[in-house]
Amino acid sequence: MKLRLLLAALLLGELVWLYDARFGLPEPMAPIWAWLRQADPGAPTVVFVVLDTVRADHTSLCGYGRPNTPFLESLVAEGASFSCHTYAPGSWTLPSHASFFTGRSVPEHGVHFVLPTDEDRKVFEGTGFYTRPLDDRLPTLAEDFAGRGYQTVSVSANPLIGPDTGLTRGFQVAEVENSRGWKVVRTVQHLLRWRVDRERPLFLFVNLVDAHEPWEPVPDGLDWVEPRSAIGWGGPWSPFGLDDLFPWMYPRDDTFDRFVRGELSPQEAGPWLAHVTDVYDHGVLQADRAVERLVHSLRAHGWADDGLRLVITSDHGEHLGEHGLGDHGRFAHEPVIRIPLVVWDSAGPVALPEPLAGTSVFHLVRDGRLPEVAEDVVSYAFPDVMWDKVYGRGGRPQIGVIGDGEKLLWEAGAVSRVDLVADPTGVQSVPHDGSVPHPLDATLERAVQRMSEASTVGGGLTDDMVQRLREIGYVD
Ligand SMILES: [Zn+2]
């Protein structure tokens, strides 16, 4: 009898736990936690959220036709500042996060694709890419906050924000929560309850990967999406890990490979891209819901009582068929570099000019305001020789420079011009040979100079590497 009672109690506890986590109802203990908190009014809680892989033009915040960011819009209705023309510093997770955390451009911090040498191979094994970790000498946001007496907590659903890459330096608590949505928020709630001192101010970083491939299914559909199965760039998958357990049930398909190589017919590509776009847009909604749960929980637990600065952005977007591409990481095209930004600060609104450099996010998080001198709006995509080997694309460096509705796209020395007002996804461009001066010429020149000097940061270049870089048009 006692055993049954014990089992029933355990089951009840588990059900309450799941219900609380899933539906985020007010927790009975929340007022007690809030009462225990006695923060310094001069030190607001600072929360920095990266919605991994969210492109600005696929959010209803930025005018997209599908209502997939209702919470971000509600923050704006409350008085939050926002920008739909913020440009990611880099074209994938590592370079952009390294810029957010250091305030440096991608060539300056050196966390980007490098050539596969023996020296870098160990880093490759750690992250799955040929790249370097963040240079120990560069100070980080988390170190800055820690130096000011803050407790620094990172919860990342993207495993690249971990110790191997140097990006968790300065965080006193750093966890990788390899899951999505509410489970990540649940981990944050747990850490804030049991691992932090409630009398000290808090800097919290959260990365949510709901919009990153592979995407979860939409089993019942929504008003704007028909029921869809789980899919990634590698084909169907199981969010329950069944693809790992029974790989023969989920064989990798080569649709993505054929598409990027230009071998997929429009008849095949159309329905496939429609499926991908549906689950991607739904992933953005899931990320928005997770942020809603996170913010409600922080407020319920008193973390906003003495001031809250909330900065929400993305690290890069995603190709959804534009330029004959899927995925992100090797290109500075608009779908990959234009990201949304929302800033809610109890100290008051912040004027955000457009376009805005993604490196400014560092200052917005650290100081609650932009740097005094406006930064160049530049996105860098370093060449990925491994991708080039497989697809014959992505092996040439790109730089995007943006200003006044125009963009200059530099690719291994060739420059084209894009009218972003007429062509917001930047799929049409005209050559810009420099014979007619352009207002962005000087900015581009600075960016190219920085990129060409980049490889001396964080490791140094051998003669052999210089020769190989020359071959792919990376240095003169
Ligand atoms: Zn990312």
Spacing, Cα 6 to ligand 1 middle (Å): 44
Segment 432-454 shows an average pLDDT of 91
- What does the pLDDT average to over 451-461? 57
Omega before 214 within 30 of 0, i.e. cis: yes
Distance 316 CA to ligand 1 centre (A): 6
Helix, strand and coil in the chain, % to nearest 5: 40, 20, 45
pLDDT at 13 exceeding the cut of 80: no
Would you place residue 33 in the very low, low, confident or very high pLDDT band (cuts 50, 70, 90)?
low
* Distance in angstroms (rounded) separating the CA atoms of residues 58 and 198: 38
Q: For residue 361, report the distance from its CA to the centre of ligand 1, in Å.
A: 15
CA of 195 to the centre of ligand 1 (A): 27
- Distance (angstroms) between ligand 1 centre and the Cα of 260 equals 20
Ligand 1 center to 435 CA (angstroms): 37
**Dihedral sign from CA coordinates of 101, 105, 109, 112:** positive
112 CA → ligand 1 middle, Å = 13
CB 93 within 8 A of CB 316: yes
The mean per-residue pLDDT over the stretch 139-148 comes to: 96
Instruction: Return the percentage of the chain with pLDDT > 70, whole number.
Output: 84
Q: What is the pTM of this model?
A: 0.89
Distance 315 CA to ligand 1 centre (A): 5
Backbone angles phi, psi at 241, to 5 degrees: 80, 10
DSSP per-residue codes, 390-417 = HHS-S-S-EEEEEETTEEEEEETTEEEE
Q: From the CA of 193, how far away is ligand 1's center (Å)?
A: 28
Residues around ion ligand 1, judged by CB within 5 A, are 52, 93, 315
Mean pLDDT computed over 227-237: 95
pLDDT at 329: 94
For range 86-113, the mean pLDDT: 96
The pLDDT tens digits for 406-440 are 999 999 889 999 999 999 999 999 999 888 999 99
DSSP type of residue 46: E
The encoded tokens of residue 245 equal: 């357990």
Which residues fall within 8 angstroms of residue 463, CB to CB, at 6 or more apart?
A: none
Q: Over the chain, what is the mean pLDDT?
A: 88
Mean pLDDT, range 345-369, rounded to an integer: 96
Q: What is the CB neighbour count within 10 angstroms for residue 257?
A: 15
CA 63 to chain CA centroid, Å, is: 20
How far does residue 101's CA lie from ligand 1's centre (Å)? 14
| Both tokens assigned to 237 | 């998958």
